[in-house]
Copies of this chain bind each other. A is one copy, B any other.
Amino acid sequence: MNIALDMWGGDFAPEEPVKAVTQFLSGPHDPSVRLLLTGDQQQLQQLLPADIRSSRSVQYVPAPQIIGMHDHPTRVLKEKPDSSLAAGFRLLAAGQADAFISAGNTGAMLVGSVYSIKVIKGVHRPGISSILPKENGGTGVLLDVGMNPDCKPENLNQFAQLGSLYAKYIHGIPTPRVGLLSIGEEESKGSLLTQAAYPLLKANAQIEFIGNLEGRDVLLDLADVIVCEGYTGNIVLKMAESLYGITQRKGISHPYFDRFEFEQYGGTPVLGITKPVIIGHGISSAKAFLSMISVAEKMISTGLMAKIKASFEKG
């Protein structure tokens, strides 16, 4: 499998992606994985250790243009076709890569996901998901976490389906429980959006809907998938993420809060498009890139995208 990796994406690029590539290929790994490195080939070859540099598992895709702070997220793909980010999407769209990973400009990643890569037929709005560390040690999926700050009820219903398939094939949970993030447990409680979404989720035969969840349930083990619009999802995610830094600064050391170091989960996969795209945090470290490679491998090897397609063909 071919995984395209944007070597100039993120605040600590190319150093951290380079470290990740080195660590990935130095350690035990699936020999069928080939990493397609997009960026400045010459610089990359200088940065990579000799044995990695010439490894048959590495392929260089020269793309020397640099995306800066001032580039416009929605225009940059057209304006800088030879950037490491644009090159990754080109490889993925052409079928030369089976997945694309980047910690570059999030806006540009979302634009590329929808316009360079097609949306799966039947999916109204793709979403981005994140992991939530649960009290019992498990991990839940939360979506949308920011791609769609405003949603219609049917969007939440589709997120439930997308999240369930992700939890099933990537987390290995046979029948993922889906909760609707709301206020109050009763069907009649919540916002106008959640009240309208509830009956759709209840009627969706492709998911295991367990009803409304409240804010206090987010970090517990009541559901494997939690759905909400992207505004609230983003706030929940970032608030959870902030706990790691706070506990670190307070000198509170506990394995529970170590799991709030979101680096270890890598980025957020875009769900609802035809090919695997994983968006990293701007601050992604080598550890985060390694996690993203691992998620990409799973998304490819389980055929997740085909499963999603089949699910949305059913209705």
Contact = CB atoms under 8 A, between A and B. Distances in A.
Interface of A: 135, 146, 149-150, 181-183, 190-194, 214-220, 228-232, 234-243, 246, 249-250, 252, 254, 256-257
A214 B190 contact: no
Contacts of A219: 239, 242-243, 246
Nearest to A239: B215
B256 A238 contact: no
A215 B236 contact: yes
Contacts of A230: 183
A216 B239 contact: yes
Given A149-B190, A149-B191, A252-B256, A235 B234 contact: no
A238 B190 CA distance: 14
Contacts of A135: 246, 249-250
A281 B146 CA distance: 31
Nearest to A251: B254
B252 A238 contact: no
Copies in the complex: 2
A183 B246 contact: no
Q: Which of A190, A216, A235, A250 has the most CB of B within 10 A?
A: A235
A110 to B, nearest CB: 12
A149 to B, nearest CB: 4
Contacts of A181: 235
Q: Which of A181, A191, A240 has the most CB of B within 10 A?
A: A191
A28 to B, nearest CB: 33
Contacts of A194: 149, 231
A150 B183 CA distance: 12
A238 B216 CA distance: 5
A257 B254 CA distance: 13
Contacts of A257: 252
Given A231-B194, A235-B232, A242 B256 contact: no
12 contacts: A135-B250, A183-B234, A193-B231, A215-B235, A215-B239, A219-B243, A231-B232, A232-B235, A236-B236, A250-B254, A252-B254, A252-B256
Contacts of A150: 191-193
A183 B231 contact: yes
A229 B236 CA distance: 14
Contacts of A250: 135, 254, 256
